[in-house]
Amino acid sequence: MVDVILGLQWGDEGKGKIVDFFAPGYDIIARFQGGPNAGHTLYVDQKKVVLHQIPSGIFHEGKTNLIGNGVVLDPVTFKRECEAVASFGVDYRKNLYISQRAHLILPTHRALDKASESAKGNDKIGSTLKGIGPAYMDKTGRNGLRVGDLLDKNFVTEYIKLRLKHQRLLDGLNFHEDISAWEEEFFEALEFTRQFKILNGEYFINDMIRQGKTVLAEGAQGSMLDVDFGTFPFVTSSNTISAGVCTGLGIAPQQIKEVIGVSKAYCTRVGSGPFPTELNDKTGEQLREIGCEFGATTGRPRRCGWIDLVALKFACMVNGVTQIVMTKADVLDSFEELQVCASYHIDGQSTEQIPYQMNRIDIRPVLKSFEGWKKDISSQKDFRNLPVEMKYYIDFINKYLGVQVTYISNGPDREQLIKVH
């Protein structure tokens, strides 16, 4: 049996904490897509740690953690992550596995990412410059190197061939920076990565399922950044929706049971692209300040706005979401008035559907106002004790989406999660 946890907005929904909370109930936690452009923030022993590629179940004793074939792996970032995990006294080698089919991010992928973004001028996508896009492009172009290739004696020869191809592209983009230091660090990290259990991930995970083991599939980024269904072209390079679990881990669709969608009580976005409910005013700044809205991977300030139910309902539909975890509800504690986007106004017409090309049209969000609860909920543990105004806010969202909010996060710590009765 496989359950999925994924983001329903533009990423940064707080998935790391939610996976960490649910992980004890599963045997295997598996990342199925994305790369080090994802940052899942956890608090372990009151200390903050950000995981980029390692599954968020790594801090739970006796749990198997799998980096699936759908992930693009940066060995340098991976080595740093492992060192960070080890500082908490965790023996990561004991329960961390890597699929041999996962593609590697090379130093030249990072260079290509930087060169490509620079060449776009004012039309930048807002890439994290981690080499994710170029690595996925090599994957679909059938040029990439995979983790399993590390075990091949001809790896260096194949690397040189691919590097020469990349150099021609870099020359065409007038990129002439010296990346020798990147390469030195890369080859050191490769030796570190070779020490891990590199296996046939799809056979491994399906064997575990047949033995009755339970799997929690962990997504990165958010549904509105999906390469097919997100706000294209301002999207990531992988399928962030639940369908990506099948291709990113090698499991059949009928194995998936629960799809747990994670959404903030408001909206944020990092980088460029459409954001209908964005608030470029004091309210937006207040959301950013109270919510500490700065990218876990890049440190960039996040754009902030009210919750967009049009986009959220679309995400629930394409993912087949069965329940929602609402995060950062406590950020709204001090607001006298809250608003939600219940429809879009486009070309004189109202719609509750996501348009084809959001960045080419003028979208005016149609907002519905709610009275704020003006109470500190961060210490609450029982849904029955939450303010009436908050319950009304949640109830409206439940009815609009046709999916129930089952948990409410009211702070960053593990125990700050309220089950909805």
Residue positions annotated with a catalytic role: 12, 40
Quickly tell me which residue has 């909010």 as its tokens. Answer: 405
Q: Which of 240, 211, 237, 208 is nearest to 224 (CA)?
A: 240
3-state secondary structure of 339: strand
CB contact set of 332 (below 8 Å; sequence gap of 6+): 265, 266, 338, 372, 373
- The long-range contacts involving 341-345, CB below 8 angstroms and separated by at least 24 positions, are 341/276, 341/277, 341/306, 341/307, 341/308, 341/309, 341/310, 341/311, 341/365, 341/366, 341/367, 342/309, 342/310, 342/366, 342/367, 342/368, 342/400, 343/310, 344/276, 344/310
* Residues 382-414: b if buried by 16+ CB within 10 A, e if exposed: eeeebbeebeebbeebeebbebebbbbbbbbee
∠ CA 178-136-181 to the nearest 5 degrees? 20
Q: Report how far residue 421's alpha carbon sits from residue 395's, in angstroms, rounded to the nearest whole number.
A: 12
Q: Which of 323, 325, 335 is nearest to 377 (CA)?
A: 335
Show the tokens assigned to 228: 């097919």
Which residues does residue 337 pair with via DSSP β-bridges, in sequence order? 371
